[in-house]
Structure formats: C-alpha cells, structure tokens
Amino acid sequence: MRRMRVTVTGRVQAVGYRYFSRAVAAPLQLSGYVKNQHDGSVLLEAQGPENQLRTFLQELQKGPRLAWVESLDVQWIEPIAGEEGFAIQH
C-alpha cells in the first residue's frame, strides 16, 4: 500500500478534472481526495497498490477532454490507515 500527493498544473480547473479523477480512481479501488487550489492547480492524494497508482498517474496526465495538463508533481507520502473512498473536496 502506497500513497502519493500530486499537484497538477495546466488548464485543470473548470474542465471537470476533479470529477474525472474520481471516476478514474473508483475502478482502480483507490482512496483519497482531490481539490482545486487557489493558484489554479489541482491537488490530490491517492492511496492503493503501487501498480494501480501508476495507472492512475497515466490517466491524470491525459486528463478529461477539455483539460490541458502541463505537469504532475508527485510526492510519495505515508499511507493513511482506514481511509475509504475517493472524495471531491471543495
């Protein structure tokens, strides 16, 4: 079990990026959250098996149809015990 914190930059707000990331995380059985940042980036944390997290990263790089992803800044952090589901935070 691993956990990552990802900051996504580019045109990633007001294009459905948070909903896209939740839709991708669900079938991969990842837990965590996603939220918009004041600087126009999107911050997310995701937790699960490393191979599923790497698949998730590939999809995050693509983004939804209207998004343009400039970069993904990935940090590996300590997992959180007992976390369930992948939430959109406001």
18 noted as active-site residue: yes
CATH number of the domain at 24, please.
3.30.70.100
Catalytic, out of 36, 51, 54, 65? 36
* pLDDT of 90 over the 90 cut: no
Confidence category of residue 74, pLDDT binned at 50, 70, 90: very high
Please indicate, yes or no, if residue 88 is contained in any of the structural domains. Answer: no
3 noted as active-site residue: no
Q: What is the pLDDT of residues 9-65, one digit of tens each?
A: 999 999 999 999 999 999 999 999 999 999 999 999 999 999 999 999 999 999 999
Name the domain count of the chain: 1
Please indicate, yes or no, if residue 11 is contained in any of the structural domains. Answer: yes
Catalytic, out of 3, 11, 18, 22? 18
**Those residues with Cβ within 8 angstroms of residue 4's Cβ, 6 or more apart along the chain or in another chain:** 45, 46, 47, 53, 57, 74, 75, 76, 77
Q: Which domain holds residue 17?
A: 2-78
pTM of the model: 0.95
